[in-house]
Amino acid sequence: MLRALELAKKAYELGEVPVGAVIVKNGEIIAEGYNRRQATNRALSHAEIEAIEKANEVTGDWRLDGTSIYVTLEPCLMCAGAISASRIGEVVFGAYDIDRGFISSRADINKLGNTDITVFGGIKEDRCKEILDMFFENKRRK
């Protein structure tokens, strides 16, 4: 999660909503991503999707069974769907997204997707939330 936070900082410095994600297999990080939707102009460029695409590249397989994704913010509907479609087995997220989080806040990903994904929410929540709050605070001031 510390690495995911570093990636969120990278997004922050680029003026993007600061969210970072890493995918771990057998205790090792195999892929990383951070939100860069403004830079790429891709609706898909959320941190989780960036990481999933890289993990698919690295493993040469669209199935990511046996991997975990660590992400600083609770995934949205699209990312929850992508996690389920790519068969990631575990989701560890930092800050809860009460309005748009589709892992446990707005809906339970496992009920939604008929999956059996292990979920841990609120991990290093304060630090994950702090960088998001900072970003939106600065945005309001401008």
Q: Footprint of its own copies on this chain (CB under 8 A)?
A: 37-38, 40-46, 49, 52-53, 56-57, 60-64, 76-82, 84-87, 102, 107, 112-113
Min CB(2)–its own copies separation in Å? 26
Nearest CB to its own copies, comparing residues 5 and 24: 24
Which residues are catalytically annotated? 48
Nearest CB to its own copies, comparing residues 62 and 134: 62
Nearest CB to its own copies, comparing residues 69 and 95: 69
Of 76, 81, 66, 2, nearest in space to 35 by CA: 76
Q: Which residues contact 136 (CB under 8 A, 6 or more apart)?
A: none
Between β-strands 90-95 and 67-73, what pairing exists: parallel, antiparallel or unpaired? parallel
